[in-house]
């Protein structure tokens, strides 16, 4: 057959050849997917870890909902979620869960003339904005807690997440705690039925959309606000103090955490007591199979986490994440030893 002549055939041979050899040369790589909340720090760790060990981490930030789904579907070695799963769900799928990093969720605004940290907001007001009850920036309720701030008479453009999101889970969990009308009409989960606003994908998407859209408000993990110089707000916390989103404020909230007594490390850190506590603080979790499909890949993943716990603190601090305290790391390592076993029933190596 002289069809399309032999060049075509030759090209085909080359591609098939490359394909075959590529399949054999399986490069070392850990695959994970999930939460966008910790993505900036995971990406930073991954780069440093690859430079050191040659082992890459392919982490796709597709949202916590995605992380939960993909680990259940066993398409990844680990899933990541900012919504901790309950023990019965963990047992049902045979999953181990442990916290990896903590951080703060901050409201971000794009209003002309408003500088980062200039606006103060409390839980009730935040809930009313996201319920659509407050629709103008110069609403008396906002003005009352912001004396002296020049608020425009513009409509508020609300930006929320469109994907299943642990950031949304923690954000709505907080609104649930502070607003009864939020609790009765919307509720709390990784994705909810938003009364108003536009949806954006991931923390990245919300940050981008707020940046793009004038007079808007959204909520993101603090690293996204910081890296992109977005105007975050201060917040009034449980004890009525106005706090700025800083690592100290996140740390203060995290200090209340009692990891030792939480089954499956299931802890939610919103609306914590303490004068300096940031009200929407959250931990991000890793989900892994107790009996992994691929022992070697899972072992490599644990080695990465182990490295990140012990060597990733500075990188975390530079992005204002809060590393897990060493006491918690010790507990997590014990959990690994105890729960995550290879096909012969032996604990997976992580050092």
Partner 1 sequence: MSGAEENTFPTGPATPDDGTAGPRSWIGKAFSSVSLSAAIIVMLSLGGVMYTLSIGAAPALKEFGLGFLTAEVWNPVTSQFGAAAPIAGTLETALIAMLIGVPISVGIAIFLTELCPEKLRHGFAITIELLAGIPSIIYGIWGLFVLAPYMQRHIQPFLIDRFGDIPIIGNLFQGPPYGIGILTAGLILGVMVLPFITTVTRDVFLTVPSLQRESAYALGATTTEVIWNVVIPYSKVGMLGAIMLGLGRALGETMAVTFVIGNAHRISASILAPGTTISASIANEFTEATTPIYTSSLFALGLILFVITFIVLSVAQYMLHRIKKAEG
Partner 2 sequence: MDIYAKRKLINRLSLAFATVATAFGLFWLAIIMWTLLSKGITSLNLILFTETTPPPGASGGLSNAIFGSVFMNALAIMIAAPLGILAGTYLAEYARDSKLGAVARFVNDILLSAPSIIIGMFVYELMVVPMGHFSAWAGTVALAIIAIPVIVRTTQDSLLLVPDRLREAASALGAPRWRVITSISYRAAKGGILTGVLLALARVSGETAPLLFTALNNQFWSTDLNAPMANLPVVIFQYALSPYVDWQKLAWSGALLITAAVLFINITARLLASRDRSTKRI
The pair of structure tokens assigned to 126 is 């935040």
Q: Which is nearer to partner 1, 168 or 233 (CB)?
A: 168
Residue bearing tokens 């023990």: 87
Q: How many CA atoms lie within 13 A of 321 on its CB side?
A: 30
List 197, 245, 312, 323, residue binding partner 1 (CB under 8 A): 197
| Closest to 276 in 3D by CA, of 309, 251, 296, 312 | 251
Residue 71 CA, chain-centre distance (Å), reads: 16
Piece of 13-21, 245-253, 277-285, 321-329 that binds partner 2 (CB under 8 A)? 13-21
188 interface partner picked from partner 1, partner 2, none, CB below 5 to 8 A per type: partner 1
Phi, psi of 268 (to 5 degrees): -115, 130
Give the residue with the Cβ less far from partner 1, 44 or 83: 83
Half-sphere exposure of 347 (CA within 13 A, CB side): 12
Task: From the list partner 1, partner 2, none, pick the one residue 175 interacts with, judged by a Cβ distance below 5 to 8 Å according to partner type.
Answer: none
* Cβ nearer to partner 2, comparing 13 with 143: 13
Quote the Cα angle for 194-195-196, to 5°.
95
**Closest CB to partner 1 among residues 92, 330:** 92
Question: Which one of the spans 226-234, 259-267, 280-288, 320-328 is the region binding partner 2 (CB under 8 A)?
Answer: 226-234
Which residues, including other chains, have CB under 8 Å from residue 314's CB and lie 6 or more apart? none
Short-list 146, 335, 110, CA closest to 234: 146
- Verify binding: residue 347, partner 1, rule CB under 8 A: no
46 binds partner 2 (CB under 8 A): yes
Structure tokens at 148: 């002296």
| Minimum gap (Å) between residue 275 Cβ and partner 1 | 33
Question: How far is residue 61's CA from residue 48's CA, in Å, rounded to a whole number?
Answer: 18
Question: Considering the rule CB under 8 A, would residue 6 count as an interface residue with partner 1?
Answer: no
Among 200, 254, 257, 324, binds partner 1 (CB under 8 A): 200
What are the residues binding partner 2 (CB under 8 A)?
1-4, 8, 11-12, 15-16, 18-19, 22-23, 25-27, 29, 31, 40, 43-44, 46-47, 50, 56-60, 73-76, 200-202, 204-205, 207-208, 211, 224, 227-228, 230, 293
């Amino acid at each position: 057959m002289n069809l399309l002549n032999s060049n075509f055939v030759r090209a085909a041979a080359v591609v098939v050849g490359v394909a075959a050899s590529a399949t054999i040369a399986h490069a070392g790589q850990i695959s994970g997917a999930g939460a966008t909340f910790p993505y900036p720090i995971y990406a930073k760790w991954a780069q440093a870890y690859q430079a050191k060990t040659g082992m890459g981490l392919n982490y796709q930030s597709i949202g916590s909902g995605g992380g939960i789904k993909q680990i259940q579907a066993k398409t990844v070695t680990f899933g990541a979620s900012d919504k901790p799963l309950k023990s019965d769900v963990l047992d049902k799928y045979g999953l181990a869960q442990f916290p990896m990093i903590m951080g703060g969720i901050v409201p971000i605004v794009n209003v002309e003339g408003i500088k980062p940290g200039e606006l103060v907001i409390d839980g009730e007001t935040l809930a009313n904005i996201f319920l659509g009850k407050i629709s103008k920036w110069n609403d008396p309720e906002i003005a009352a807690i912001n004396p002296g701030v020049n608020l425009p008479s513009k409509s508020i453009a609300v930006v929320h997440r469109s994907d299943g999101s642990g950031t949304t889970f923690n954000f709505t969990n907080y609104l649930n705690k502070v607003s009864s009308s939020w609790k009765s009409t919307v509720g709390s989960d990784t994705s909810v039925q938003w009364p108003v606003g536009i949806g954006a994908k991931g923390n990245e998407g919300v940050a981008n959309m707020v940046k793009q859209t004038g007079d808007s408000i959204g909520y993101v993990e603090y690293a996204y606000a910081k890296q992109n110089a977005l105007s975050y707000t201060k917040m009034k916390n449980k004890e009525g103090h106005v706090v700025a989103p800083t690592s100290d404020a996140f740390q203060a909230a995290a200090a209340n955490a009692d990891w030792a007594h939480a089954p499956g490390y299931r802890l939610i850190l919103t609306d914590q007591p303490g004068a300096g506590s940031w009200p929407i603080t959250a931990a991000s979790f890793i989900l892994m199979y107790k009996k992994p499909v691929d022992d070697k890949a899972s072992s490599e993943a644990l080695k990465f986490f182990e490295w990140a716990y012990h060597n990733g603190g500075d990188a975390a601090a530079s992005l204002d994440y809060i590393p897990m305290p060493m006491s918690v790391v010790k507990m997590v390592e014990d959990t690994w030893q105890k729960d995550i076993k290879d096909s012969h029933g032996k604990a997976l190596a992580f050092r």
